[in-house]
């Protein structure tokens, strides 16, 4: 966005008038256009001998002939105060679809990357996928600043899209597989959510400090090369190593973690574990196809895909429908990004008490009601409904991201996790078309979004509760998790914590 955005306040550049102020240039050379939002043409200028016009003091006459912009455009610097690729290469008027084209290919790349790096995570490890995605994002992000046309830029954005989400989600998955059930919610949400909120609210001011789209592209891409240092800090997931039958390596990782935490694992416990470990839980060649072959797991997985698809459609649709705040571009982005924080804190506080299932049902149900209510109300009530809908969908998104990792067995967790996110990307593709319906029937997009998230509410009933339950290692563990479910399983009302059951 900060590399491609252009000011809507732009007009043809007339070199002969460069000694005039920008307002005088626009008033003299640009014809009025009542159909344009700002009242003047963005793509045409009068044809005149500007030297004679300046010498004789003529004023513009609507009978003068007009032509398309021949020397490029000039942009209102008070809105976007630096050069973007769109303003540099003139991606306006008949080229105003170039930004959308590059963005579309970016998400197509995300879909391709989800399949590829999900497979890499399950085949070669979470650490390999984390390093691979970050390096791909680093290299292609830097190469994009050297693009000289839309084709080159789109290719680099497609490749950068392959890294998008996966560069964060693979290390998220790695951390999830380290952490005991009672700490998962805090670790999964606070670690990623706080830093995500911090980076998003900082991004506009980084862009302003860079003051050029090329500098911004390098500044936001180069740090991803630090992923090369990950093996010095992050050990590979012991769960994944066990799934591959690499027992000694898994034990060594756990011993290393214990040493850093100033704990000591008795040698007798290690020997007992090695003796009791059986090859039955090794599923080295398992693929996501195995999930679809098992009815119980297939049903839960499909419902999770539906959940995330609906949440993504509604999340993006609400952002587009509500619009930005009545401030400048950079302040608006910062403030709307900061709304993630209260959603995050509420999720951390409520998720382990109400559980994944019932918190999602409550949030999606309330989001459905408030979205529809926004369409049928005005003024203060409509504003409060819109803000509430955004809050509820944020909470639902945070919950489903964590929940996805908790229902899949270790051997396909990476690829399954990526596929669920691919359904989210599909949602991002659908939402602009839904929002466009506002031009046909006012309020219709919000009603459709409310119906979409209601579908997620219904599908959530078919997903097993995972609060305070260890993540399944094998397919049998995952199916047993589903079979043992109770409909009204609310963690804060359980008589005995599942962690205690596991220890017994």
218 assigned to some structural domain: yes
Taking CA atoms, 25 is separated from 20, 22, 34, 74, in Å, by 6, 5, 19, 10
- 277 within some domain: yes
Residue 504 has pLDDT above 50, yes or no: no
Last residue of a domain, one of 60, 76, 95: 95
For residue 366, is it within any domain? yes
Q: How many domains would you assign to the chain?
A: 3
**Residues 368-402: tens digit of each pLDDT:** 999 999 888 877 788 788 888 888 998 999 899 88
Mean pLDDT of 75-104: 85
Asked whether residue 80 carries a pLDDT value surpassing 80, the answer given is yes
Q: Are both 36 and 182 inside the same structural domain?
A: no
Q: Is residue 210 part of a domain?
A: yes
**Residues 103 and 182 reside in one and the same domain:** yes
pLDDT-derived band at 224 (thresholds 50, 70, 90) equals: very high
Q: Which one-letter DSSP state was computed for residue 283? A: -
Question: Same domain for 290 and 338?
Answer: yes
Whether residue 67 is found in the same domain as residue 190? no
Residues 450 and 328 in one domain: yes
Inside any domain, residue 504:
no
Residue 499 confidence class, pLDDT cut points 50, 70, 90: very low
- CATH number (domain holding residue 290): 1.20.1250.20
- Residue 41 sits in the same domain as residue 144: no
Domain shared by 161 and 212, yes or no: yes
For the record, the structure tokens of 492 come out as 């804060």
On whether residue 350 sits in a domain, the answer given is yes
* Residue 255 maps to a domain: yes
Residue 113 domain boundaries: 98-235+283-497
pLDDT tens by residue, 111-164: 889 889 988 988 898 899 999 999 999 999 999 999 999 999 999 999 999 998
Residues 6+ apart with CB under 8 A from 155: 105
Do 186 and 317 lie in a common domain? Answer: yes
Q: Do 330 and 416 have their domain in common?
A: yes
Rounded to whole angstroms, the Cα distance separating 116 from 107 reads 14
Is 62 inside a domain boundary? yes
Examine the fold and report which residue of 65, 95, 125 is the final residue of a domain before the chain moves on. Answer: 95
For residues 51 and 155, membership in a common domain is answered with no
Residues 351 and 287 placed together within one structural domain of the fold: yes
pLDDT digits (tens, 9 = 90+) for 349-375: 898 889 999 999 999 999 999 999 988
pLDDT at 36 over 70: no
HSE value, Cβ hemisphere, 13 Å, CA-based, for 273: 14
- What tens digit of pLDDT does each residue of 444-479 get? 889 999 999 999 999 999 999 988 888 888 888 889
Write down the pLDDT at residue 279. 54
For residue 282, name the pLDDT band (cuts at 50, 70, 90): low
Residue 337 in this model has a pLDDT that exceeds 60 = yes
Tell me the two tokens of residue 175.
């951390």
Last residue within a domain, chosen from 95, 114, 141: 95
Q: Are residues 373 and 420 in the same domain?
A: yes
Tell me the C-alpha to C-alpha distance, in Å, between residue 86 and each of 5, 9, 14, 147, 456.
7, 13, 19, 12, 38
The string of pLDDT tens digits covering residues 304-326 is 999 999 999 998 888 777 554 45
For residue 107, pLDDT beyond 70: yes
């Amino acid at each position: 966005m900060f590399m491609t955005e252009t000011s809507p306040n732009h007009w043809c550049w007339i070199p002969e008038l460069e000694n005039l102020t920008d307002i005088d240039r626009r008033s003299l050379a640009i014809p009025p256009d009542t159909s344009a939002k700002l009242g003047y043409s963005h793509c045409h200028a009068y044809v005149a001998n500007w030297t004679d016009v300046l010498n004789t003091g003529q004023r513009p006459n609507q009978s003068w002939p007009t032509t398309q912009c021949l020397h490029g455009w000039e942009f209102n610097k008070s809105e976007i105060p630096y050069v973007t690729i769109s303003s540099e290469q003139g991606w306006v008027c008949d080229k105003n679809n170039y930004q959308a084209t590059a963005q579309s290919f970016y998400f197509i790349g995300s879909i391709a990357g989800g399949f590829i790096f999900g497979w890499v995570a399950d085949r070669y490890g979470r650490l390999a996928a984390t390093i691979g995605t970050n390096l791909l994002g680093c290299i292609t992000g830097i190469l994009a600043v050297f693009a000289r046309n839309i084709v080159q830029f789109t290719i680099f954005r497609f490749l950068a899209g392959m890294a998008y989400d996966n560069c964060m989600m693979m290390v998220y998955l790695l951390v999830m597989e380290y952490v005991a059930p009672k700490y998962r919610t805090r670790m999964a949400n606070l670690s990623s959510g706080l830093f995500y909120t911090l980076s998003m609210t900082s991004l506009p001011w980084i862009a302003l400090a860079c003051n050029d789209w090329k500098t911004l592209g390098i500044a936001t891409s180069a740090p991803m090369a630090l992923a090369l240092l990950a093996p010095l800090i992050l050990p590979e997931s012991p769960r994944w190593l066990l799934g591959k039958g690499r027992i000694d390596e898994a034990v060594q990782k756990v011993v290393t973690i214990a040493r850093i935490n100033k704990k000591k694992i008795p040698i007798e416990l290690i020997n007992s574990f090695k003796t009791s470990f059986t090859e039955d839980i090794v599923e080295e060649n398992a693929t996501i196809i195995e999930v679809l072959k098992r009815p119980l797991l297939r049903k839960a997985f499909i419902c999770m895909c539906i959940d995330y698809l609906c949440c993504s459609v509604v999340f993006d649709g609400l952002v587009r429908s509500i619009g930005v705040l009545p401030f400048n571009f950079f302040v608006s982005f910062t403030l709307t990004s900061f709304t993630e924080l209260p959603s995050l804190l509420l999720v951390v506080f409520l998720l382990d008490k109400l559980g994944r299932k019932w918190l999602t049902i409550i949030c999606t149900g309330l989001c459905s009601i408030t979205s529809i209510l926004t369409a049928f109300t005005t003024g203060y009530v409509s504003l409060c409904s819109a803000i509430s809908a955004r809050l509820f969908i944020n909470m639902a998104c945070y919950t489903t991201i964590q929940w996805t990792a908790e229902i899949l067995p270790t051997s396909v967790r990476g690829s399954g996790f990526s596929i669920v996110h691919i359904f989210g990307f599909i949602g991002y593709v659908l939402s602009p078309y839904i929002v466009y319906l506002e031009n046909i029937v006012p309020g219709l997009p919000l009603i459709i979004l409310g119906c979409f998230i209601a579908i997620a509410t219904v599908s959530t009933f078919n997903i097993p509760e995972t609060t305070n339950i260890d993540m399944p290692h094998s397919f049998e563990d995952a199916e047993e998790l589903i079979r043992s479910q109770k409909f009204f399983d609310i963690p804060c009302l359980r008589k005995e914590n599942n962690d205690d059951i596991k220890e017994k």
